[in-house]
Structure 1
Amino acid sequence: MLGDERWDLDLHESAARSVLNPHDPGSEDLPVAGVLPAILQAVGKSAPVILKAPPGAGKTSLVPISLLQAGLVADGQLVLVQPRRLAARGAARRIAHLTGSKLGQQVGYQVRFDRCASPQTKLLVVTPGILLRRLAEDPLLENVGCVILDEFHERSLELDLTLGMIDRIRSTLRPELNLIIMSATLDPAPLLKFLRSSSVPPISVECQGRSFPVNVHYTPSRSRQPIEQSVVETLPDALDQTSGDVLVFLPGVGEIKRVHQRIDSQGIASDFQVDELYGDLSAESQDAVLAPSEHRKIVLATNVAETSVTIPGVTAVIDTGWARVMTFNAAVGMPSLRMQPISQASAEQRAGRAGRTAPGAAWRLWPKPSHAARPKHDLPEIQRADFSAAAMMLAAWGERDPFDFPWLTPPAVESVARAKQLLSWLGAIDSADKLTAIGSRMLRLPVHPRVARFLIAAEDLQVAEDAAIAAALLTERTPFVSGNVPSDLASQVETLQQFFQRKPVANLLVAATKNIQRVADQLLRILASSRSGAGSEDRGDVAPIALGEKEERLRRSLLLAYPDRVAKRRSRDSDKGLMVGGRGVRMIAANRIGASELFVCIDVDDKGTDAVVRMAAPIERDWLSQDWMQSVDEPFYDPTRQAVIARRRDYFHDLILTESPLECKPSPAVAEQLATFARPMLWEWMNDNQRSAIAFVTRVRFVAHWMPEADLPRLDDDAIDDVLVQLCQSRTTIRSLQTAPWLEHLKSRFDYPALQRIDKHAPERLIVPSGNAIRIEYQEGKPPIMAVRLQELFGWGETPRIAAGKVPIQLHLLGPNGRPQQISEDLASFWKHTYANVRKDLRRRYPKHHWPEDPLIAQATRNGLKPR
């Protein structure tokens, strides 16, 4: 036990002991029993408690029971928060059994679409979403005396949001509201730091588990075969080497069904009972899985069996190492379940399930060397999940800035921005980020904000019943047999309606179909309740609507729920399109959108270059909200024409709907486009078309380098770019830019005295003894060069120098053939030591040219011939 205060535990030992002998004598031996006095003592002083106890220690059942029997929440309800529906129902049943009460009386539960409680309920087990919606209506939880956040290590976004709101309530108006945080693998240090502002310091309590050794096996190498094949190949070893039940962890329901089918078809476990365990199981099916059996069992489970429920009798675990995790996909703007490797901590949790009651064994279907490469812990959901529902909840609480909210782990800035953008598009918040009337109704619907908006829109269009079925299809497990799923949502709804009307329908999974019906009915009731709560009038009887009209109204409603997933075909008959946001999409062949150019992407798999659209709905352009439409005259660069051209484009958000050509006239926007595409090739074509301008630039830079005292304005690349932008203001083509008066614009950056200094210290030409003005070539990083006929320099005794005499000109002395015969920066030395040999050679080859013996007194000639 950690904390700033030494607790007097004796005061509460008798209260703790009263819990240990209810209707389950074995509860006395549960490890958490030893720390109950410390917990009761802390709660009695309103100190937050952080309890770390391994799975099977009894924390979920004994801690809330001890609080009730000690009378520490006599004036209010105790709310136990479980992150999963299956675990919440199971915990409520277990606690009711231990207290000898009927479920729904003193002990009850409430999860999405399922409530078993009464006004007499003192201990209510809920999922985080239920408590969050209760907080939206009762921000102070006035009838609650204690909140227990169980399995907090799962760190769902809803759990983090709940913790922040409870902390806000405790630190402002209700410091007496008790808080207990429980987990199997939690590091208490961050929570102790987070809760340190409490009026009474938090304490951390830890109890040791009661477990047996587990022998862990790894596969020798990574297998490329399907998961279900690896499982059935491992099962015989697990059954032969252990004597208890076998728990198999699989990523999802699909894998569970396929493994079950293989076990049955191959006769691997004919003498064993094979059970399935996943979140959508009915309460009865859940009870059957968790109940003891006369036969050895093989339990095929998702990660709900990792920590949330206890399965007695398990001595073998087969771990595939995978889980489906809810992750926000920014590319398609929706959360989706993605299969990913589990963390090392999760693997330890899973293996530990084999050592609860006896020594056990665990088979990990991955190589041992790769285990270290797995992340040590799972990433908190707030760092990977869609934030839109949380942002809507914060708006309901009046939290204007999500970053001012007390977060254990703050959300990413981009996640908050995306969430606010989506809620604005859905009409849930206004420009001040306040919840709108539509947003208030959306908040009461226990579905994603998109689906909530869809339901409200469909109700306005009088197709709420069809929409409720569609919403259930979008949020629940599919009721259709794999390979027989109707291609569009409207067809799926119609098929299910036929089943609900007791018409013969094939290829449906009965249990999943009944779940769809139950969820749809619940959504309809909540939708009606939210309408009456908002003060809307009863709509009365609705006239029958034709099937085609119903489909159109559903598609209109879907558009309001997915405005950022509108897509447009790339061409008339193409299966490819472009979605709002710029993501490329490709429709599967089964999508029925006909010849429609526009469609809404409902179910998207973001894999590969183009996202695959598994379900889409055709829409019409005149359905699009004018609030997000705009017509823009846009210039853009055409590389074929090497020119900026203009188009008039009609946009929905950033999706181009139509475009038509326009006359392109010079403008700042055109100039920006032209300059952008001219920059990479600027020096190349200036060397071809603007040699005088290039020469001027190099002369200026020469003077600036050798004579900084000349104090010339800079003519660096930024200055050149300024001239480029200036010239682009009145032009639209690269050709017109190439022939523009670059030299004049460059010189205009200098006043007359500066130009004189440039001409003086870096002259463009130099007059030689022959009378010719010879061009000087300047290159950055090289000496200035003057290529001149040898005969034109007769009479010059020294090498000419520029830049106030600091820099000699490199002379390229040309023969009659125009080729350099000698390169020299010391003309006097050339005349004295080298000229005689050069004269001898050239006089023989070019006898008509002037080759005097003494070049210092000879007459210079322009053409190189002998003077007349």
Structure 2
Amino acid sequence: MTRIPSSLPINEVLSDIVAALKTSGTVVIKAPPGAGKTTGVPIAMEEAGLITSRILIAQPRRLAARSAAARLADLMGSQIGHDVGYQVRFDRRWRSDTKMVAVTYGILLRQLQADPYLEGIDAVLLDEFHERGLESDLSLGMLLRLKQTVRPDLKLIVMSATMAPQPIADFLSQDGAAVDVVESEGRSYPVEIRYAKKWDRSTIEEQVAAALPSVLRATPGHLLVFLPGVGEIRKTETLIRQLPETRGAEILRLYGDLSPDKQDRVLRESRQRKIVLSTNVAETSVTIPGITAVIDSGAARVMRYDPDVGFPRLQIEPISMAAADQRAGRAGRTEAGMAQRLWTQATHRSRPEFDTPEILRTDLAGAVLQLAGWGERSVADFPWLDAPFPEAVATAESLLKSLGAIDDAGITPTGRRMLRLPVHPRLARLLIAGEEFGIPKRIAVTAAMLSERDPFRRGSGPPKTVRGKNRGNHNLLDSRSDILNALNRLEKYADGAEDPQANEAAARHIFRVAEQLAGMLEGGKGKQESNAEDSDIAIMRALLAAYPDRLAKRRSRGSDRAIIGNGQGVKLSGESKVQEGDLFLVIDVQQATGDAKVRQASMVEHEWLDPAGFSERDEAFFHPSLRQIAARRRLYWNDLLLKETPIESADDDQSQALLHEHAIRNWDRIFPQEDTGLQRLLARIRFLQKWNPELELPALDTESLHAVCFQLCRGRKSFLDLAKAPWRDFILGKLSYQQQQALQTHAPERIKVPSGNEVAIEYQEDKPPILAVRLQELFGWDKTPCVANGRVPLLLHLLGPNRQPQQITEDLASFWEHTYPQVRKDLRRRYSKHHWPEDPTQALASRSGLKRDSQ
């Protein structure tokens, strides 16, 4: 007889959940951690007759799947592997008649690939959906597609601790059928939140050690410490074991890769006080009994995709407000508690409200391959709760094509083989290549070493036991491949070599994963592998199959700087020992200012390159220092330039477009600037456009001038050629004959004044045109001349003999009558040799202005 503890808050809404499932077959549940939803909902469904065959309970982590199965089995009065079971990577405990199976989201996706109809499955429960992992988003879309097509009878339950449930319900209602939302308030005790008084420059580990004594004094129960990763857990443990306050306490670690027995030790109830150092797995995935205090570092390790370099990077980031509340809530499950946050209250307000969904921040290659294998024709048409960025999808598709996993028709046979391996597509391709080269076991160790935790972290201390004599020296390094160096070092350690920097648990885990991976390869069972040298070459060639897009070519012989196919510069760091060859693979990279730093690389021989990847192209390019078009005959492998030779550039469309592109970027260097006839012409045309619109002169804005530039680029090769080009003629050519005549008449470049001189008119934007001329050259004019067919008077700058303005006016007649007498008096005194008539309208104009020239 099954039973659900009456103390679980989920009991209050189980009848609503069952009713919703009987009505629509889909329900969205929001309930806080500790409410009992993970165990209560499947049991209630089974008791209501909704599970006749099997329910899959999907969890984001292996630890959560095992924990859920153990709790369910206990409540059902069953043993693991009978009525209740679980399946995680490399660990399966269920049989054909098992009704409840807790799985990771990765296992659920594999089952959807193997059995797209999920035959024999009555229901799927997606737990901890608020974490918004890529696999959970992918699972939700696939299950929705399944329900809308061939499995409308499939029961679907989505459970979240923090997410607003209605958007998920709306998403699942795409076919018009309403989806119910059920919320459980849960039960918790008040938690006192404390913040750091000021920003602390010390390390996270030091901050935890400083805060721990006061937190231990504040509450009597167990203490949970949230840290970003295993490295911080290890360092923190070293520090706090030295504190007198931790004597008598049991200090435990908790993270995803921890062995099941050590995980169970954390989750068991104990009277001895516990200090649990955990990653974010303890945030919502598991409940640790007796926790009354939390120390929160406020950070987590998050995988983000960097499109600039094409590499996913794991980085420590501040957690969201929602995640911080979840962590604090762990202290109030059984009684009042407290949470010490290692950041100030002021900085708390700057944190994001929720974590960014993984689909918007990480590598999508695995997801795109899953969809291709499932027969999805378009990633964009797939039902996403949050659609991925198109650029990230394009990057993933490009990678999968380079790996040979997909082509224009869909998934390839190689891609099908890759899907069967529970690793990233790169590593799956690595395994397949190693198998084809006859080294399935050794390539499995390589893949495990690349995917799992580094077994040679500095400061990890010596192994607990030494299993034989040192039969090698890992300091004798191979200058061809850092991966070979790491592999050889790991193999020697496994064979008994002493290594004080080795982490025995991490090394054991790698070999355990490698054994599982090798067993999944067709040639990985009992096959004799190649000799050592051939095996080393095979590993380096298999790495090329897995990282073809990360092939780099040194900038010069022996240089530690190189360039990869996407144009990104890289630099071999001091950690890399690769010295041979001009080609190498970028395996492990750390982004830096300027060139990315390559920590692990592996040499590539030219003859290893797939001939199908070679192409020869004649390409024009803009030479930045010569500022001209040059051309090269270039040999590429995929997108990586291997070799080039100079050739004569052709006067073709490519050269024209290239010169035009760079001319636009450097417009100030190309387009003739001030004090040129071109600028004066443009000013006249624009002036006439404004005052004589009936002429319908063509627009000469920046876009139009760029178009003129494109025409001028034809047959020219350099910026110098462009600067000397007949810009004025081309622009005048845009005007009809009548328009050119009107331009000359109504916006003349010069005007003839009474002295006989032709004086330039300065046309200004949104201002009257200026005629700057010596006053004595205007004697004889009785009014201001106009342009624009008489619509606009010139603004006269009347200059003295010293060429300085004596008066500025638009009304010459008024000036002669009212202002000139006073100006004449002043000018006669200063320039006595010049002619200053009493009536300028009747006087003879003079070019020099002297008395002798005016008679």
TM-score > 0.5, shorter chain as reference: yes
- Aligned residue number for residue 545 of structure 1: 531
**Cα distance in structure 1, aligned partners of 2:115 and 2:809:** 94
SS of equivalent residue, structure 1 residue 559: helix
- Aligned residue number for residue 239 of structure 1: 216
The C-alpha deviation readout for 1:292-317, integer Å capped at 9, x for no partner, is 33522211111111222222222222
Segment drifting more, 680-689 vs 164-173:
680-689
SS of equivalent residue, structure 1 residue 582: coil
Segment drifting more, 651-660 vs 464-473:
651-660
- Aligned residue number for residue 730 of structure 1: 715
Residue 431 (1) aligns with residue 408 (2): yes
Task: Check whether the contact 1:849–1:866 (CA below 8 A) recurs between aligned residues.
Answer: no
Q: How does 1:364-383 map to 2 (within 5 A)?
A: 364-383=341-360
**Cα distance in structure 2, aligned partners of 1:183 and 1:839:** 93
- Aligned residue number for residue 601 of structure 2: 616
Q: CA deviation at 1:341?
A: 1.8
| Equivalent position to 1:291, from 268, 280, 296 | 268
Q: CA deviation at 1:437?
A: 0.6
Fraction of identical pairs, as percent = 48
**Cα distance in structure 2, aligned partners of 1:829 and 1:40:** 98
Q: CA deviation at 1:787?
A: 4.8
Q: CA deviation at 1:252?
A: 1.0
- Aligned residue number for residue 527 of structure 1: 521
SS of equivalent residue, structure 2 residue 681: helix
Contiguous gaps of at least 5 residues in structure 2: 461-473
| Equivalent position to 2:418, from 432, 438, 442 | 442
Q: How does 1:575-594 map to 2 (within 5 A)?
A: 575-594=560-579
Segment drifting more, 113-122 vs 485-494:
485-494
Q: CA deviation at 1:821?
A: 5.8
**Cα distance in structure 1, aligned partners of 2:13 and 2:846:** 113
Q: CA deviation at 1:862?
A: 5.2
SS of equivalent residue, structure 1 residue 445: coil
Q: CA deviation at 1:701?
A: 2.6
SS of equivalent residue, structure 2 residue 353: coil
| Equivalent position to 1:462, from 435, 438, 441 | 438
Task: Check whether the contact 2:438–2:530 (CA below 8 A) recurs between aligned residues.
Answer: no
- Aligned residue number for residue 19 of structure 1: 2
**Cα distance in structure 2, aligned partners of 1:469 and 1:324:** 25
Task: Check whether the contact 2:747–2:788 (CA below 8 A) recurs between aligned residues.
Answer: yes
**Cα distance in structure 2, aligned partners of 1:737 and 1:500:** 69
- Aligned residue number for residue 13 of structure 1: none
Residue 213 (1) aligns with residue 190 (2): yes
Q: CA deviation at 1:85?
A: 0.2
Q: CA deviation at 1:112?
A: 0.5
**Cα distance in structure 2, aligned partners of 1:193 and 1:688:** 60
Residue 79 (1) aligns with residue 56 (2): yes
Segment drifting more, 336-345 vs 79-88:
336-345
**Cα distance in structure 2, aligned partners of 1:201 and 1:831:** 89
Segment drifting more, 438-447 vs 792-801:
792-801
**Cα distance in structure 1, aligned partners of 2:743 and 2:841:** 31
AA paired with 2:66? R
Task: Check whether the contact 1:793–1:860 (CA below 8 A) recurs between aligned residues.
Answer: yes
SS of equivalent residue, structure 1 residue 778: strand
Q: CA deviation at 1:361?
A: 2.5
SS of equivalent residue, structure 1 residue 144: coil
| Equivalent position to 2:507, from 509, 513, 523 | 513
- Aligned residue number for residue 455 of structure 2: 479
**Cα distance in structure 2, aligned partners of 1:374 and 1:682:** 43
Task: Check whether the contact 2:2–2:75 (CA below 8 A) recurs between aligned residues.
Answer: no
Task: Check whether the contact 2:663–2:670 (CA below 8 A) recurs between aligned residues.
Answer: no
- Aligned residue number for residue 7 of structure 1: none
- Aligned residue number for residue 30 of structure 2: 52
Task: Check whether the contact 2:673–2:679 (CA below 8 A) recurs between aligned residues.
Answer: no
**Cα distance in structure 2, aligned partners of 1:593 and 1:315:** 52
AA paired with 1:61? T
**Cα distance in structure 1, aligned partners of 2:706 and 2:591:** 41
Residue 64 (1) aligns with residue 42 (2): yes
Inter-CA distance 752–127: structure 2 relative to 1 (3 Å threshold)? same
The C-alpha deviation readout for 1:140-194, integer Å capped at 9, x for no partner, is 1111122222222222221122222222222222222222233333432223323
**Cα distance in structure 2, aligned partners of 1:752 and 1:216:** 82
**Cα distance in structure 1, aligned partners of 2:174 and 2:761:** 78
- Aligned residue number for residue 546 of structure 2: 561
Task: Check whether the contact 1:331–1:606 (CA below 8 A) recurs between aligned residues.
Answer: no
Inter-CA distance 648–209: structure 2 relative to 1 (3 Å threshold)? same
Q: CA deviation at 1:495?
A: 2.1
Task: Check whether the contact 2:568–2:595 (CA below 8 A) recurs between aligned residues.
Answer: yes
| Equivalent position to 2:304, from 327, 331, 348 | 327
Segment drifting more, 743-752 vs 570-579:
570-579
Q: CA deviation at 1:436?
A: 0.7
AA paired with 1:477? R
Segment drifting more, 438-447 vs 574-583:
574-583
Inter-CA distance 804–107: structure 2 relative to 1 (3 Å threshold)? closer
The C-alpha deviation readout for 1:387-439, integer Å capped at 9, x for no partner, is 2211111111111122332333332333322222222222111113x111111
Q: CA deviation at 1:279?
A: 0.7
Q: CA deviation at 1:131?
A: 1.3
Residue 31 (1) aligns with residue 31 (2): no
AA paired with 2:677? S
The C-alpha deviation readout for 1:89-128, integer Å capped at 9, x for no partner, is 1222232233333322332211011112223322221111
Task: Check whether the contact 1:345–1:376 (CA below 8 A) recurs between aligned residues.
Answer: yes
- Aligned residue number for residue 149 of structure 1: 126
Q: CA deviation at 1:330?
A: 2.4
**Cα distance in structure 1, aligned partners of 2:29 and 2:847:** 102
AA paired with 1:512? A
Inter-CA distance 605–837: structure 2 relative to 1 (3 Å threshold)? same
Task: Check whether the contact 1:498–1:505 (CA below 8 A) recurs between aligned residues.
Answer: no
AA paired with 1:343? S
Q: How does 1:831-850 map to 2 (within 5 A)?
A: 831-832=816-817
- Aligned residue number for residue 330 of structure 2: 353
SS of equivalent residue, structure 1 residue 204: strand
Task: Check whether the contact 2:223–2:293 (CA below 8 A) recurs between aligned residues.
Answer: yes
Task: Check whether the contact 1:332–1:565 (CA below 8 A) recurs between aligned residues.
Answer: no
| Equivalent position to 1:760, from 736, 745, 761 | 745
Task: Check whether the contact 2:754–2:780 (CA below 8 A) recurs between aligned residues.
Answer: yes
Inter-CA distance 429–709: structure 2 relative to 1 (3 Å threshold)? same
- Aligned residue number for residue 701 of structure 1: 686
Q: CA deviation at 1:716?
A: 3.8
Residue 111 (1) aligns with residue 88 (2): yes
- Aligned residue number for residue 363 of structure 2: 386
Q: CA deviation at 1:463?
A: 2.7
Q: How does 1:390-401 map to 2 (within 5 A)?
A: 390-401=367-378
**Cα distance in structure 2, aligned partners of 1:336 and 1:724:** 44
Residue 311 (1) aligns with residue 305 (2): no
Q: CA deviation at 1:204?
A: 3.4
Segment drifting more, 133-142 vs 30-39:
30-39
Cα RMSD of the aligned pairs, angstroms, is 3.3
**Cα distance in structure 2, aligned partners of 1:595 and 1:200:** 64
Q: CA deviation at 1:854?
A: 5.4
Segment drifting more, 739-748 vs 63-72:
63-72
**Cα distance in structure 2, aligned partners of 1:335 and 1:650:** 29
AA paired with 1:544? S
Inter-CA distance 214–820: structure 2 relative to 1 (3 Å threshold)? closer
AA paired with 2:8? L
**Cα distance in structure 2, aligned partners of 1:409 and 1:751:** 56
SS of equivalent residue, structure 1 residue 299: strand
| Equivalent position to 2:429, from 453, 456, 481 | 453
Residue 744 (1) aligns with residue 737 (2): no
Q: CA deviation at 1:677?
A: 4.6
Segment drifting more, 408-417 vs 248-257:
408-417
AA paired with 2:169? L
- Aligned residue number for residue 488 of structure 2: 494
| Equivalent position to 2:66, from 84, 89, 101 | 89
**Cα distance in structure 1, aligned partners of 2:629 and 2:157:** 66
**Cα distance in structure 2, aligned partners of 1:299 and 1:228:** 14
Q: CA deviation at 1:257?
A: 0.9
Residue correspondences, number: 835
The C-alpha deviation readout for 1:681-723, integer Å capped at 9, x for no partner, is 7678876798333333333333333222333334444443333
**Cα distance in structure 2, aligned partners of 1:61 and 1:845:** 107
